[in-house]
Amino acid sequence: MLMARWVCAALALAAACSSGPTQDDTAKSDFHYRLARNYYNDPNIAMVQRELHEALKLDPRNHEALHLRGFVRMGLNDLLGAEADYKAALGIKPDFQECRNNLGTALLALGRFEEAIEVFKPLLEDPLYPTPSFAQGNIGFAYMNLKNFEAARRHMEMAVFLNPRFCVGYNNLGKLFLETRNPRAARDAFERATRTCPTYAEPWYHLGVMLQESGESAKAAEAFLKCNEASPETAIGQRCAARR
C-alpha cells in the first residue's frame, strides 16, 4: 500500500512538472510580446525588455519573444546572449527562417564564419524564404573573411542578381574586388551602390578613397561630402569628413 501511494505521488509530481504553461498563460505571454514589439517600433528599449521578461516568464517557449529578445541583445552588442536566444527559438520552431538568418548574422559578428555558413545554407534550399539575396550575401561575406574569394564572389553576385537594389551586396562586392585587386570592378560596384542608395554612406567612402588615389580630387571630395551628409554622426561619416 505504501509503495502504491509513493508511485501515485511520483506520477502526480511528474505530471505537474511536465504540464507547461496554461492556455491562459500562453495568451498573456503573446499579449506581452505584442506590447514589446510595439515598444520596439517606438522605440523604447527599456519597455521592450520589460514586456519580453513578462512574456517569457509566462511562457518560456514563446519563440517570437525569444527571437525579439535576441534582436534587442544584438542591438546592445550582447552577441552571445543573442546567439542563445536565437538558438532557443529555433529549437522550438526549426523552420523560423527569419530567426535562422539573424542567428547567422550574430555568428558573423562573432567572427565564427564557418558556423555562420552552415546556419545560412538551409535558407538557400527553402523556396518560400522571401529574402534569399540576404542569405546569399551573408554567405559571400563569410567566405570573403575565410579568404575563399571564388566562393565569396559566386554568392555575392547571386545576391545582387536576385535583388538588383541590394546596396549592401554591391558594397561588399566592391570590397571583395578591392581585396582581389580588381579596381575597375570594385569602382563599378561602389558606383552601383551609391546610385541605388545615395544615402548609404559606406560605398561613398570607398569610392572617395579610390577617386582620391587615382588623382580625381574634385570627385573624391564630392564623394566624401555625400558620405558625411548621409551619416554625419557615425564613424564612417566622420572618416569621410576628415578626408575632404
Radius of gyration over every alpha carbon of the chain, rounded to an integer in angstroms: 24
pLDDT at 244: 79
Structure confidence at residue 16 as a pLDDT band (50, 70, 90): very low
Residue 35 domain-assigned (yes or no) = yes
Residue 98 domain-assigned (yes or no) = yes
Give yes or no for residue 10 having a pLDDT over 50: no
CB neighbours of 49 closer than 8 A, spacing ≥ 6? 36, 69, 72
pLDDT at 190: 97
Residue 69 domain-assigned (yes or no) = yes
* Element housing 91 (H / E): helix 79-92
Structure confidence at residue 21 as a pLDDT band (50, 70, 90): confident
Give yes or no for residue 86 having a pLDDT over 80: yes
pLDDT at 15: 39
Domain count, the chain: 1
Structure confidence at residue 234 as a pLDDT band (50, 70, 90): very high
Q: Which residues of 155-169 are buried (b: 16+ CB within 10 A; e: fewer)?
A: bbbbbbebbeebbbb
Give yes or no for residue 107 having a pLDDT over 90: yes
Give yes or no for residue 116 having a pLDDT over 90: yes
Classify burial at 202, counting beta carbons within 10 Å of its beta carbon; exposed 0-12, middle 13-18, buried 19 or more: buried
d(CA 126, CA 109): 24
Residue 187 domain-assigned (yes or no) = no
Query: Which among 125, 79, 124, 130 has a CA at the least distance from the CA of 102?
Result: 79
pLDDT tens digits for 153-205? 999 999 999 999 999 999 999 999 999 999 999 999 999 999 999 999 999 99
Give yes or no for residue 35 having a pLDDT over 70: yes
pLDDT at 4: 39
Residue 142 domain-assigned (yes or no) = no
Structure confidence at residue 19 as a pLDDT band (50, 70, 90): low
* Element housing 209 (H / E): helix 201-213
Structure confidence at residue 2 as a pLDDT band (50, 70, 90): very low
Structure confidence at residue 1 as a pLDDT band (50, 70, 90): very low
Query: Which among 129, 157, 130 has a CA at the least distance from the CA of 143?
Result: 157
Q: What is the pTM of this model?
A: 0.84
pLDDT at 36: 95
Residue 183 domain-assigned (yes or no) = no
Q: What is the mean pLDDT of residues 94-108?
A: 96
Q: What is the mean pLDDT of residues 60-65?
A: 97
Q: Which domain holds residue 31?
A: 26-111
Give yes or no for residue 67 having a pLDDT over 70: yes
Q: Percent of the chain, pLDDT > 90?
A: 89
Residue 118 domain-assigned (yes or no) = no
CATH number for position 107:
1.25.40.10
pLDDT at 92: 97
Residue 223 domain-assigned (yes or no) = no
